[in-house]
Structure 1
Amino acid sequence: MSATAAALAHADDLADFVAASPSSFHAAAEVARRLTAAGFTSLDETAPWSVEPGARQLVVRDGAVVAWIVPGGATADTPFHIFGAHSDSPGFKLKPQPTTGRAGWLQAGVEIYGGPLLNSWLDRELRLAGRLVLDDGYSVLTATGPLLRLPQLAIHLDREANDHLALHKQTQTQPVWGLGNAASADLLAELAAAGPDVDPARIRGYDIVTADAAHGAVFGKDDAFFASGRLDDLASVHAGLVALEAHEHADASHIATLAVFDHEEVGSGTRTGAAGPFLADVIERIQLGLGADREQQLRALAASWCVSSDVGHSVHPNYVEKHDPVVQPLLGSGPILKINANQRYATDAAGAAAWHGWCEAAGVTSQEFVSNNAVPCGSTIGPITATRLGIRTVDVGIPILSMHSARELAGTADLLALSRAAAAFFAG
C-alpha cells in the first residue's frame, strides 16, 4: 500500500521545516514563527510573565524553545504533559579564524560537532548556518545557500580507498568554498552577506555549523522512504510542533508542553541543554503564574509525564547481526518505544503501558527497540529530564537508517504516526 496523502503532506511539511532549520538557532526560531502564527504569544525571559488559564505561550532561549498551552480550567497543581526533543545534529562547526586554504583553494576551518559519520559528508553541497553576535550584543541569524564541499580523493590516487576509507579528523575534514588566497578572503563576510547583510566588522562572535543543502525527499516503492539531513532530531521536533499547533485544550486536565533542547549531541550540559535549567525555570514560572505554592508545585510534577522523542535504529538488512536477534523494528511499521535495562533510556513498565495507550488512542502501531547486548546504545534527553525534574519519562522515537549521516533515512508513514501519537499524548 502506498503512503497516504496525509503522510506525504506531513513529509513535505517536514522537508520544508528542515530546510528552514539548518542550525539549532534556526530550528528554535522556526518553531516560534509557526506557533506565533497559530496564536501563541512569545515571552521575554527578562520581563515579567503573565500566565493564566487559556494562555498559549512560548519562550526561546538561543537554540532551545519551550511552548505550552494552559487549559481553561487550570489550577495551581495542574500537571504537565511534556513532549521533548532536540534541535541540534552532528556535523561540523566553524572554528575561530575560519578562513583557511592551501594550494590555491579557499577552505573553512571546522571542528567536528558530536559524532557524525564523517565519510557521509563527502561530495555533498553544504550550507553554513547559525548566529552572528554583533558589537551591540544583538544576535542575528544567517544561512548561506550551497557554499562548501568536502571533495573525496579520486580512486586513482588511493587504490585501496574502498578497503579502508577513514578520514583524518583534522587534515581531511576542511571543506573547500572557493579559489584564491586565504589572506585576501573572508568567510565571515560571506556569512554576513548571506542573511542579515551586516557589516562583517561588527561581528564579535558566532556559532555557525554545516548542514546538507539538499531538500528532503520521498522516494522508493510506494513512497515508503523519506531522506533528509537532520532527521536526528528535527523529525521529533516537527512531530511535536504539528501536534501542538492542532491541540484543542479547552477540556484538558494538563498543560500541553513542547520542549526543544539544544546540545543533545554533545551531552546536554549547557544552559539550553536538557541537563540545564531551562525547562525547570519555565515550569516554575508557569506554576507561579497559576499561584502555586511549593507543595502544589511538587504535586503537579508528581502527576506529570514527559515523552522524550529521538530517533532509534531500524534493523539494517546488510548488518542484521548488529541488532537484537528478536526485537527488530522496521521502517514503516510505526514509532518505537526505546527500552534499556541500564537506564540509557528512561522507559519503565509504567511508561511502556502509558505509551501503548497513547498510540492506541491515536490509531498508531508501535514497535519496541532494544539493543544487541554486544552493541551498547547511546542515550537521550529522557534520563536527563527524569533526573533533573523527577517527572515520569518514557523514551520513544522513529526508526531510521544512516543515523548521524549527513542525510538520514526514515519511513514516510512513521513521521505522521509519531505526530499523531504526540497529539494523543497532548490530548491525554
Structure 2
Amino acid sequence: MEQEPSVSRRIFAIDSLLDNDLYKFSMQQAVLSLYPGVNVTYQYRNRSPQEHRYTKEAYEILTKRIEALADLALTPDERTFLERKCPFFTSKYLDYLSAFRYTPKAHIQMSLSSSGDLEIWIKGLWLDTILYEVPILALVSETYFEFVETDWDMEGQEEQAETDARQLILGGCKFTEFGTRRRRSREVQRAVVESLKKANLELNGSTLGADQLGCNRVAREERGELLGTSNVYFAMKYDLNPIGTVAHEWTMAISVLENDLLHANGNALRIWRRCYPTDFGTALTDTFGTAAFLRDFDAPLAESYTAVRQDSGDPREFVLAIIEQYEKLNIDPAKKLIVFSDGLTVQKALELKSYVKGLRRQRGNGVPDVSFGIGTHFTNNFRVKSDGAKSRPMNIVIKLYECNGRHVVKLSDDTGKFQGDEAAVREALKVFMPDRSTP
C-alpha cells in the first residue's frame, strides 16, 4: 500500500527563493531601480479550461503551499552563488533580495468554482509581486498532478532526458532548459536537469565524448550543447549557467508607464538598456505581434541587442522577417542570434535547426545563429501509466492585467495567446492590427 504523503511534503513543494526563473529577478532589479512605487494586478488563466479541473482537496493543499512561500528567504550560500554567477546584480539589489519575503496573504486572492476552475489574482506593488508568477504556476501544476491526475510515475524520465539531450547535441542544437513554470513536479525538473547535464558532459565536456554513440559521425565543432537552465536554484545545484531574457510583462507595463501603446516595444527596449547596457541582450518580439515590434526595432536598438526571441507565430516566417529587418538596417544577420521558445519539442528544434542550415546554404551566410529554449517538453512529458495515452500538461499562464489601475494586454502572433480585458484587447487590436475587429 502506498504511504500517505507526509504533512511537510503535502505543504512544502518549494523550499528555495531561487526556485524561480532568472528573468523574474532581472526584472525585479529593474523595477527596484525605476518603478518601485508602481501597482499591478496579475491574472491566472487556464488556456484549456475544459481540462485539468481541480478538486477541493487539491485546492486546499495548493492554498497551503502558496501560503508557505512566506517562509522562504535568500540564504547566504544562495547570495554567494548570485554574486559569483550573476555579476549584473548590484549589491543594492542583493541586499533587497536578502530582505525580501513573499506575503501571499496580502497579495493573492484565490477561489475555486463548483466545476473545479481556479481563479487567482495577484495584486500589490510590482516590486513586491513580480516573483510570484513562476512558483505559483509550478505549484498549480505540481499539486494537480500529485492529487488529481495521479496515473503516472517517474519511470524512464532520466533516460528520456538523456536521449533528448543526445539528439539535440548531435543535431547541432544549442539549448536551454526552460521548464519551471509547467513542470510536473520539482523532482521531475531536478531529474531532467541532472540528466541533461550528464549527457552534455559525456558528449562535450570530457574524454568520454569520443566513446559515445554517434560521436564518431559528428565533429566536436558541429555538436550542440546545453547552455544552462532558466531556473536559478537548479543552476546553483548543478553548477550551470542561469539563463534568462525578459518577459512580456515588461513591455506591457511600459505601454502604460510611458503612456504610449503604439511605441511600447521601442520604449521598453530602450528603458531596459538603461538598466542593463550590455547584459540581457535578447529582445522579446511578440508582445503586440512581431510586425509591431519590427516597426520599433530601429538600427540603434538592433545593434544594441544581440538576439531576438521567437515565442509565437510561424518560426520560419519569423526567421525570414528578422533577416529582412537586419538587412534593411545594414546589419549583418550572421552576427545575431534567434532564440526559439514557442512550445518546442526535440523534433521541432531539430527541424528548425535543419531549416536554418538549409537557408544558410541557399543564401551563403547572412543568416543568424539559433538556439532553443525548451520547457514543458522536458519537464512535463508523460504518458498515462494504465493505458499509455498522452498525459497532457496544464496549459496555464499568469499575465499582467493592470498597471497603475490601467488595463494592459498581450496580443502575440497567435490569437490563442491574446490576454487581457476584452475591451482593452479590442482597443490594442485597433492600434496594432486594424484589419482585425475582434479578439
Q: State the TM-score, normalized to the length of structure 1.
A: 0.26
Q: Which has the higher contact order (CA 8 A, sep 6+)?
A: 1
Q: Higher helix proportion, which one?
A: 2
Normalising by the residue count of structure 2, what TM-score does the alignment of the two structures yield? Answer: 0.26
